[in-house]
Amino acid sequence: MTTPAAEPRKRLFIRTWGCQMNVYDSARMADVLAPLGYAPAEAPEAADMVILNTCHIREKASEKLFSELGRLRDTKRERAAAGQEMVLAVAGCVAQAEGAEITARAPWVDIVLGPQTYHRLPEMVARASRAAGTVIETDFPVEAKFDHLPETVAPPGVTAFLTVQEGCDKFCSFCVVPYTRGAEYSRPAAAVLAEARRLVAGGAREITLLGQNVNAYHGEAVAGGGTWGLGRLLRALAEIPGLLRLRYTTSHPRDMDAELIAAHRDLPMLMPFLHLPVQSGSDRVLAAMNRGHTAAEFRAVVERLRAARPDIALSSDFIVGHPGETAADFAATLSLVREVGFPQAFSFKYSARPGTPAAAAPHQVPEPEKDARLQALQSLLRDQQAGFNHSRVGMTLPVLITGAGRHPGQIAGRSPWLQPVHLPGSLALVGREVPVTVLAGNPNSLSGRLAAGDVARSNQPSEEPAPA
Which residues are known binding-site members?
19, 55, 93, 168, 172, 175
Backbone angles phi, psi at 244, to 5 degrees: -100, -35
Other CB atoms closer than 10 Å to residue 47's CB: what's the count?
24
Count Cα atoms within 13 angstroms, Cβ side, for 420.
Answer: 12
- To the nearest 10 degrees (0 to 180), the angle between helices 230-237 and 189-201 is 30
Give, for 426, the enclosing helix (H) or strand (E): none
Backbone angles phi, psi at 340, to 5 degrees: -80, -45
Query: Count H helices, E strands: the chain?
Result: 13, 21
147: Cβ contacts below 8 Å, ≥ 6 apart = none
Nearest residue to 388 (alpha-carbon basis) of 423, 418, 348: 418
- Pick out the residues of the known binding site for [4Fe-4S] cluster: 19, 55, 93, 168, 172, 175
Side chain identity, residue 267: L
**Separation of CA 448 from chain center:** 27
d(CA 458, CA 465) in angstroms, rounded, equals: 15
d(CA 73, CA 76) in angstroms, rounded, equals: 5
Contact 143, 116 (CB under 8 A): no
Q: Which residues pair with 344 in a beta bridge?
A: 315
CA 77-79-85 angle, 5° bins: 100
Q: Which residues pair with 422 in a beta bridge?
A: 412, 447
Contact 340, 302 (CB under 8 A): yes
d(CA 185, CA 216) in angstroms, rounded, equals: 9
Contact 56, 176 (CB under 8 A): yes
- The three-state (H, E, C) secondary structure of 440-468, written as one string: EECCCCEEEEECCCCCCCCCCCCCCCCCC
Query: How many residues are recorded in the chain?
Result: 468
Contact 284, 244 (CB under 8 A): no
Other CB atoms closer than 10 Å to residue 40's CB: what's the count?
14
d(CA 316, CA 12) in angstroms, rounded, equals: 35
Contact 450, 436 (CB under 8 A): yes
